[in-house]
Chain A
Amino acid sequence: MNVTEDNTEQCGNSLTRELTQTPLKKIWVPSSTNGLPERHISQRKVCMTNCPTLIVTVGLPARGKTYISKKLTRYLNWIDVPTKEFNVGQYRRECVKIYKSFEFFRPDNEEGLKIRKQCALAALNDVRQFLTDEGGQVAVFDATNTTRERRETIIRFAEQNGFKVFFVESVCEDPDVIAENIVQVKLGSPDYTHCNTEEAVADFMKRIKCYENSYQPLDEELDRDLSFIKIIDVGRRYLVNRVQDHIQSRIVYYLMNIHITPRSIYLCRHGESDLNIKGRIGGDSGLSARGKEFAKALGQFIQSQNIRDLKVWTSQMKRTIQTAEALGVQYEQWKALNEIDAGVCEELMYEEIQQRYPLEFALRDQDKYRYRYPKGESYEDLVQRLEPVIMELERQENVLVICHQAVMRCLLAYFLDKTAEELPYLKCTLHTVLKLTPMAYGCKVESVCLNVDAVNTHRDRPSNVDVSRLPEEALLTVPDHH
């Protein structure tokens, strides 16, 4: 076998290309003639379909369509499927500056119908741009789409553009659920800023009535060739028809696991560890004296919160387990909650990483989300590893998750809809508990510092991320330690 000049090995008639490892993500790719990695190899991404997907919500007002759209969008973006929601109501508000009353939605209001149709088309136009020109994979078209005619228009639009269509219909007749919806998200809508509560509720109920007569729900016979999920009574029952591919299957699984029962999720890190004090990353050390104090304080805090049926989860690393032990309650261990694997950099100080692997250190600062430690992991890997944890968090009610800095950043980014750029720099300090409570379309965050001192382990992105930077520039933002 001879190695020829263009970096390939020839064996008989066929060529075997040399492989080279990409510096940032440590992925083996064939190198092209100039020695640079080629890009034709696909990494296992969630969305392996070539077609973009258009998710279309269906349902009367106050059935949770926007709630589902936003939540689904947040989930898909977190698992790295570029997704965006297009809410037709927002387009309408931009067009008709001031909302007067439900009369706008009357089926005999010609002017209103014209405007609403225009808004839908404008939204579809933006969908096309997102999916075709901006690298979007999934677009969520959030509107009532209650008539077969409107849905047909959307299907034709999708066909013309080569998009797959998946309908998500929410059907609910429970007056309590609808009333709660209205209170939570409609009263605070820009449409009702000038109304008092009773007026707003009365108007909104009339608005719903405007749609009821022309509502044609998805039908298992008439619509048997469409791909859809019908969610009945907030998840009591589901009808799933013709799931076409992987991403639709994941969407169905997600939708079937979420619920709206009020609950809170508590996130915190383990107590301060011996390696934390020394400014070393990773490893599997035990709690320092202050860390143990935190564990006790955490136990007291949790008791004082009087949480119903609290589940406690830890990783399989000593420091989180020691922390959980102090609570005196049952807990479950998840290997998936283990801290990010820093590979060859495990148990090193930042100063040592700079000394031994200055190139790696700089690459990490250049793209902290995608950077993979040699023989270790990246934040991107972490997110994939944590997906089953998120899925189970969605199913559960009150949970306390005792984990680690990078892990907590990933979980927090999911709940607070942070981008891949922001995620690795989210502040998750030791000895602080974050209480997340789903509220309206998002999440309320309460931060509780348990008043036990600890080192700071947060390293900001330094100004100079260039490979040629000086050590001082690289170490500028390293937090203090022993």
Chain B
Amino acid sequence: MSSRGTKQKKGNVTNEQEEEDQPLQAVLIADSFNRRFFPISKDQPRALLPLANVAMIDYTLEFLTSTGVQETFVFCCWMSNKIKDHLLNSKWCRPTSPNVVHIITSDLYRSLGDVLRDVDAKTLVRNDFILVYGDVVSNIDVSQALQEHRHRRKVDKNISVMTMVFKESSPGHKSRCEEDDVIVAMDSKSKRVLHYQKTQGLKKLQFPMNIFQHGSDEFEIRHDLLDCHISICSPQVAELFTDNFDYQTRNDFVRGILVNEEILGNQIHLYVTNEGYGARVSNLQMYDSVSSDLVRRWVYPLTPEANFTDQRGQGCAHSRHNVYRGAGVSLGHGSQMEENVLIGRDTSIGANCHISNSIIGNYCTIGDNVVLDRAYIWNNVHISNKVKIHQSVVCDGVLVKEAVLLNKQCVLAYNVVIGPNMSLPEGTVVSMHHPEEEEDDDDDEFLSDDQVVGNSKDKTKQKGLVLNPDPDSDSESEASDGSQDMGSRSVSPEMDDVKVFQLEVLGTLQRGEEENIGCDNLVLEINSLKYAYNITLKEVMQILTKVVLEYPFQQQGTKLSSSQYTVLLLPLLKKWSPVFKNYIKRAQDHLDCLSAVEELFLEQETHQTAMVKVLMNMYQLEILEEDAILKWFSAGATTDKSRQLRKNQGLQKFIQWLKEAEDESSEEGE
């Protein structure tokens, strides 16, 4: 890097005058490298998803152009052809465009790091450039930030490599979503970033002391900042990504720079604006808030009626209460558009509809007596009579049949047909894509800022998604995936992991039963699952116990009698006892296993008589030790129910028997 660094410096000396005159460049990354919009993004790249009826990337390009960017490199990976087509047909590729757009596509990009390494390899940037994602919506004038950045670089000899743009936004504001919350420690005077961290899932924020050793006596810790994901980068940034090939995301980069500050001497600064709008549509929650902000004109001059993309027919009329109507919109008798409603061109709406806070795309037909609230209806959607949609996204080409109710946070992906007469529970995601198909053809993980969150959740999500748009096999999908939730603020991925793990264990055991797999291999599989879902040993044991004991119900339904149940269960216990023994070793393990047994039988009250037999069997198979059972019996009762359970006659007898056996054995010992 050093050799290149000096070259750069020389260049700077000779070109110092020209520097100001050189065109401002931007690197726009039209791929999110994550799957927060899956399965919608399966059919359409995120950058092209409509936001108030305009593709997201158009907002980003408009923002760049208005801030003075004259040359933009758009990097595409996923569905690059679609993005390319879109851009070639847009105003950005007309010869009159003040912003020259170069489209660079490659299927090899897997992260922001890859893109910037490519920028470096191709030496595309000559000067400070703006780095944005293709889903950033903003009207911030970054020229001030750019000036500060340049000034810093002039004064401090290229020490500052990046200026991150933040918008002030207090916690609790709706444009904040927990997933993107950051905490920044900065030097008050120099605006230097000392510490940068995502706060999701943290209770305590820890700042290393060395960041306070820089001679300054005033620092700021800020949690009122919204990361706009707009960064002003020095050309070194691309080089640094090349030098540190393990940097994949901007987070990696920022962390690396801050940690190695003393070694490399590079610094990152921040620019905070309290006017202007800047946000990244990083998930559906943000999609919801940014869309509604657009309609409410917070992003002025990027308003729906402005038609800044200069597409023919896109224009619409703005009337009071922020109601926008495109050309050729027809509205049936008695229909109300209450407020904050945007309706695209040639959309027809039936009679007696009630629409509020919603966006409807082009060429849609909406029947009679439809209620839409916070609904995002894209293009060519057909909605039949008496449909109610609350806070949901309906993608292109969807057909919603009569009397369908979409509760909050539902997503109907492309071309889904749904209904009639059904209600989708909260958080349902319906897509035409089979989750497994996704797993097969797209195995390599993307590397992105949300990686940690994304990965673990994607798996659960794929399980939860309904793939079949057939109206009858509808809603077994309890798509509790936080990723697709709009407005849900508390997400607990651990819970999902445990659930999925349980399903996987069940699957493993079923296969083991069907294909007669040896216990050693079962243990091996369960172990690998344990690591995949990050499950503790204790949980493994509890889940294993639960799954095995529930196995008969699973196979034969819950209407088994107790005796039938035991008949089915006991051979299984015998068969899988080596699996148990592998996990139940220490005294605590025994107790945990027993409490899992207890828990299960507390749920299955009718089968409590079977419990004794199960315990007896487990004892005889040497899965459980008598000491542990006795200890559990004497100490374990914490609730009334469990006390009740212990009064079971059979159980009492069993314990009695155990005690006597113990006495005998100890006598024998003597």
User: Is B a genuine binding partner of A?
Assistant: no
